[in-house]
Structure 1
Amino acid sequence: MIDCRCKEEDKDAYLYYILSVHGQGRTIVFCTSIAALRHISSILRILGITVWTLHAQMQQRARLKAIDRFRANEHGILVATDVAARGLDIPGVRTVVHYQLPHSAEVYVHRSGRTARASADGCSIAIITPNDTSKFVSLCKSFSKESFQRFPLENSYMQEVMKRLSLARQIDKILRKDSQEKANKSWLERNAEAIELVVENYDSEEERVKSHKQKKTTSMQLKKLQQELNAMLSRPLQPRTFSRNYLAGAGVSPLLQHQLEEIAKQKLPESSGSGENKRRKLVVIGQDCVEPLEALRSAGHEVRMDVKGVAEKRRNLENLRRRRKEEKKRFRDQQRKQRKQRKGNAD
Structure 2
Amino acid sequence: MRLDFRDPEPVVVDLSPDKGVVSTLQESKVQCTTQDKDVYLYYFLLRYPGKTLVFMGSIDGIRRLHPIFQHLGIQAFTLHSNMEQKQRLRNLERFRSTIDSVLIATDVAARGLDIPSVDHVIHYQVPRSADSYVHRSGRTARAKQSGFSLLLVGPDERKAMRLLLQSLGRAEDDIPDLQLDLDIIDRLKHRVSLARRIDAVVHKHTKADHEKNWLKQAAKDLDVEIDPDFVHIEDEDGDERAYRKKKKEKEDAAALKRELEFLLKQPLVANGVRAKYITSGARSVVDNLISGRGHEKIVGVNKAAAIEAVAKA
Shift of 1:178: 0.7
Q: Deviations over 1:290-333 (max 9, x none)?
A: 33123323x23xxxxxxxxxxxxxxxxxxxxxxxxxxxxxxxxx
| Backbone CA RMSD of aligned residues | 2.7
SS across alignment from 1:28: strand
Q: Tell me if structure 2 keeps the 8 A contact 1:174–1:222.
A: yes
Q: TM-score, normalised to structure 1's length?
A: 0.72
Shift of 1:201: 6.3
Q: Which residue of 2 aligns with 1:13?
A: 39
Q: Which residue of 2 aligns with 1:190?
A: 217
The amino acid across from 2:31 in the alignment is R
SS across alignment from 2:53: strand
Q: Which residue of 2 aligns with 1:22?
A: 48
Cα pair distance change 1:89/1:248, threshold 3 Å: farther
Shift of 1:246: 5.1
Q: How does 1:151-166 map to 2 (within 5 A)?
A: 151-166=178-193
Shift of 1:101: 2.0
CA–CA distance in 1 between the matches of 2:38 and 2:51? 19
The amino acid across from 1:96 in the alignment is V
Q: How does 1:112-191 map to 2 (within 5 A)?
A: 112-146=137-171, 147-191=174-218
Q: Tell me if structure 1 keeps the 8 A contact 2:75–2:100.
A: no
Cα pair distance change 1:206/1:240, threshold 3 Å: farther
Q: Please, which moves more after superposition, 131-140 or 238-247?
A: 238-247
Q: Deviations over 1:99-119 (max 9, x none)?
A: 122221101111000000001
Shift of 1:198: 3.3
The amino acid across from 2:34 in the alignment is E
Shift of 1:145: 1.1
Cα pair distance change 1:249/1:130, threshold 3 Å: farther
Cα pair distance change 1:205/1:97, threshold 3 Å: closer
The amino acid across from 1:223 in the alignment is A
The amino acid across from 1:119 in the alignment is K
> Which of 205, 213, 224 matches 2:255?
224
CA–CA distance in 2 between the matches of 1:205 and 1:46? 28
CA–CA distance in 1 between the matches of 2:61 and 2:266? 28
Q: How does 1:42-53 map to 2 (within 5 A)?
A: 42-53=67-78
Q: Which residue of 2 aligns with 1:283?
A: 291
Which structure has more helix as a fraction of its residues? 1
| Larger-gyration structure (1/2) | 1
Q: Which residue of 2 aligns with 1:333?
A: none
Q: Tell me if structure 2 keeps the 8 A contact 1:160–1:239.
A: no
Q: Tell me if structure 2 keeps the 8 A contact 1:31–1:101.
A: no
Q: Which consecutive unaligned segments of at least 5 residues does structure 2 have?
A: 1-26, 295-299
The amino acid across from 2:29 in the alignment is D
Cα pair distance change 1:121/1:219, threshold 3 Å: same
Cα pair distance change 1:141/1:9, threshold 3 Å: same
SS across alignment from 1:149: coil
CA–CA distance in 1 between the matches of 2:124 and 2:104? 9
Cα pair distance change 1:201/1:144, threshold 3 Å: closer
SS across alignment from 2:94: helix
Q: Which residue of 1 aligns with 2:310?
A: 296
Q: Which residue of 2 aligns with 1:98?
A: 123
Matched residues, percent identical? 34
Shift of 1:65: 0.4
Q: Deviations over 1:271-294 (max 9, x none)?
A: xxxxxxxxxx94364335533123
CA–CA distance in 1 between the matches of 2:236 and 2:81? 45
CA–CA distance in 1 between the matches of 2:303 and 2:265? 16
> Which of 210, 213, 216 matches 2:241?
210
Shift of 1:183: 2.0
Shift of 1:195: 2.5
Shift of 1:73: 2.1
Q: Which residue of 2 aligns with 1:319?
A: none
Q: How does 1:312-327 map to 2 (within 5 A)?
A: none
The amino acid across from 1:151 in the alignment is L
Q: Deviations over 1:6-65 (max 9, x none)?
A: 011101100000011112x21100001011111111110011111010000000000000
Q: Tell me if structure 1 keeps the 8 A contact 2:33–2:155.
A: yes
Shift of 1:200: 6.7
CA–CA distance in 2 between the matches of 1:233 and 1:97? 23
The amino acid across from 2:305 in the alignment is E
Q: TM-score, normalised to structure 2's length?
A: 0.80
- What number of residue pairs does the alignment pair up? 273
Shift of 1:176: 1.0
